[in-house]
Amino acid sequence: AQSVTQLDSHVSVSEGTPVLLRCNYSSSYSPSLFWYVQHPNKGLQLLLKYTSAATLVKGINGFEAEFKKSETSFHLTKPSAHMSDAAEYFCVVSDRDDKIIFGKGTRLHILP
């Protein structure tokens, strides 16, 4: 069965500095991996997804993630944080059995 671990429950960065949100996964097959974002009191929105094409995936709002099979990781990055990036981010894994598993989330705080 697949699983996903988000290594940090909270991350704080200053506005204009890089963002790194870490995610490790476990899957019996070649997984599909996603990052979703949830702004306060809002629903969830897809940021990006990996589907076994390019290992470096670009998403919306300047975010990108790199799939590293050897490290079973799918970390989310952004070169320069903006105040509007403050939100909770979820790493998600799915494989052949149709179950879609969410990580516990990382809350990103942006310091002025």
Partner 1 sequence: NAGVTQTPKFQVLKTGQSMTLQCAQDMNHEYMSWYRQDPGMGLRLIHYSVGAGITDQGEVPNGYNVSRSTTEDFPLRLLSAAPSQTSVYFCASSLRGGGVSETQYFGPGTRLLVL
Cβ contacts of residue 74 below 8 Å, gap of 6+?
23, 24, 25, 33, 35, 50, 65, 66, 67, 68, 91
Stretch of 18-26, 60-68, 72-80, 103-111 lying at the interface with partner 1 (CB under 8 A):
103-111
CB of 15 to partner 1, least distance (A): 26
Residue 101, phi then psi, degrees to nearest 5? -110, 130
Q: Is 76 in the site for partner 1 (CB under 8 A)?
A: no
Nearest CA to 110 out of 7, 19, 8 is that of: 19
Q: Is 98 in the site for partner 1 (CB under 8 A)?
A: yes
Residue among 36, 63, 67, 74 that touches partner 1 (CB under 8 A)? 36
List residues binding partner 1 (CB under 8 A). 6, 9, 32, 34, 36, 43-46, 49-52, 90, 92, 94-105
